[in-house]
Amino acid sequence: MNHNYQKDMSGCGISGIMNKKGVKIPGEEIIRSIVLQRDRGNGLGSGYAGYGIYPDYKDYYAFHIMYDTKKALDDTEGFLEKNLLIEKAEDIPTKKTKRIQESPLLRRYFVAMNGASEDFHFEEDSSEDDRIVKLVMRINEDVDGAYVFSSGKNMGAFKGVGFPEDIAEFFRIDEYKAHIWSAHNRFPTNTPGWWGGAHPFTLLDWSIVHNGEISSYGINKRYLEMEGYKCTLMTDTEVVAYILDLLVRRHGLSIKLACMVLASPFWKDIDAMPEDEREIVESLRVIYGSALLNGPFAILFGHRRGLVGMNDRIKLRPLVAGEKGDYVYMASEESAIWEVCPDPDRVWAPRAGEPVIAELDKDVKE
């Protein structure tokens, strides 16, 4: 037996915390939950996403952008000035840590559409979100050395190369409060460990953290590119954020139906369903077959109204959920829930392909 083979097929850790009443949760809580799963990563990536962190700019899109060079920064800021109203632009607050002494240039911009654009002709009936997506895709594809790694309203992603405690300290996550948090500890197996390749992956207010492999990446990527998305980030997880945006925001599917597309039941199980249910699931499978995710995975995805966790169709990656009053917890390991909630009302392992869908109460304003 070759004992030098070190590829860990179950690596990566994910954590999520949410309060259904919109109560703000200190960043320290999500840090503790993901740091407990430190052994699931190898120091080549970690990140956090928080919702409700920018209440003073909640009506603006918050662009977080990383740059490899000053030229990339200058080119991108010139592009933004031509196409958007910039309410505020500043460096993302960071501090040097023992392990992170250097990083890409990191800036954030609170922006809105300006009603006109020097570089784009938008369709008259296109929404603000459609236009923002188009602008994000243009920067990521065309500006060498620039990458928009967060673009939603009243939310932000913070990520880079390092262990969870390193990235938390570097981005000062303990200084933020959010009503929804997700976090990731990376163990890359098939894609490079670089700042842009760390999780979460985002688009608008969608944020994805993922453990596993999306073996359907090729067909998912081709399908998305026919719909106008550009996959440029050298990792399979990117497609999940874009598929959700397509299914839910653009095509109007519910979160539950979108999850059924991502992890559709097997045909033998579909055949055994009651007729009404079978017709719906068959239609989704036929129409959105190219959006089906194959391979072993556990994912958490956040959005402005909630947090969702789910496994692949045969549960090849771990996922555990818990509840305590208005709080919902999801993680790769049960211990990561107990670390921040020592007396949960309920802890369970979701079944294969069945999503855990948590949503803010209807009267909660984002």
Looking at the structure of the chain, the number of domains it has is 2
Examine residue 366 and state whether it is found in any structural domain, yes or no: no
Residue type present at position 138: R
CA 317 remoteness from chain centre? 18
Strand, helix or coil at 334?
helix
Note if 12 is an active site residue: yes
User: Looking at the domain assignment, is residue 340 inside a domain?
Assistant: yes
> Where are the strands (E) in 296-345, listed by range?
297-303, 306-311, 320-324, 327-331
Tell me, yes or no, whether 276 and 171 share the same domain: yes
Q: Which of 12, 231, 259, 341 is catalytic?
A: 12
- Of the candidates 125, 153, 181, which is a domain's last residue? 153
CATH number assigned to the domain comprising residue 260: 3.60.20.10
Which of 153, 188, 209 corresponds to the end of one domain? 153
Q: What is the pLDDT of residue 268?
A: 93
CB atoms within 10 A of CB 260: 22
Residue 170 lies in a domain: yes
In a domain, 313, yes or no: yes
The pLDDT assigned to 125 comes to 73
163 and 234 part of one domain: yes
Residues 77 and 218 in one domain: no
pTM: 0.94
Are residues 292 and 309 both part of a single domain?
yes
The answer to whether the peptide bond before residue 93 is cis (omega within 30 degrees of 0) is no
pLDDT of residue 194: 85
62: enclosing H helix or E strand: strand 61-67
| Pair of tokens at residue 57 | 């700019």
Residue 200 lies in a domain: yes
Q: Do 148 and 162 fall into the same domain?
A: no
The domain boundary, picked from 99, 122, 153, lies at 153
Quick one: 129 and 34 in the same domain? no
Give the pLDDT of residue 118. 63
pLDDT of residue 116: 62
Residues 111, 48 share a domain: no
Give the tens place of pLDDT for each residue, 313-325: 999 999 999 999 9
Q: Whole-angstrom Cα distance, residue 326 to residue 19?
A: 6
* Helical H segments across the chain, by residue range: 27-35, 70-83, 128-142, 164-171, 217-226, 238-244, 255-262, 267-271, 275-287, 334-338
Q: Verify that 234 and 352 share a domain, yes or no.
A: yes
Residue 5 included in any domain: no
Residue 7 included in any domain: no
Tokens of 182: 């997700």
Residues 201 and 94 in one domain: no
Domain-located, residue 193: yes
pLDDT digits (tens, 9 = 90+) for 182-204: 999 988 776 777 899 899 999 99
* pLDDT, tens digit, 9 for 90 and up, residues 1-42: 344 444 444 579 999 999 999 999 999 999 999 999 999 988
Range of the domain at 69: 62-133+144-153
Do 80 and 41 have their domain in common?
no
Backbone angles phi, psi at 260, to 5 degrees: -65, -30
Q: Which pLDDT value is given to residue 1? A: 39
- Residue pair 46/183 in contact (Cβ under 8 Å)? The answer is yes
For residues 38 and 94, membership in a common domain is answered with no
> What pLDDT score was predicted for residue 115?
67
pLDDT averaged over consecutive 10-residue blocks of the chain (366 residues)?
Answer: 45 95 98 95 93 97 98 97 96 94 96 76 82 95 96 98 96 98 87 86 97 93 95 88 97 96 93 93 95 95 97 94 98 97 97 96 88
For the purposes of burial, counting CB atoms within 10 Å of the CB of 222, is it exposed (0-12), middle (13-18) or buried (19 or more)? exposed
- Asked if 30 and 76 sit in the same domain, the reply is no
Q: What are phi and psi of 8, to 5 degrees?
A: -95, 105
Helix, coil or strand: residue 303: strand
Structure tokens at 280: 């719906």
Question: Nearest-CA neighbor of 11 among 233, 310, 350, 297?
Answer: 297
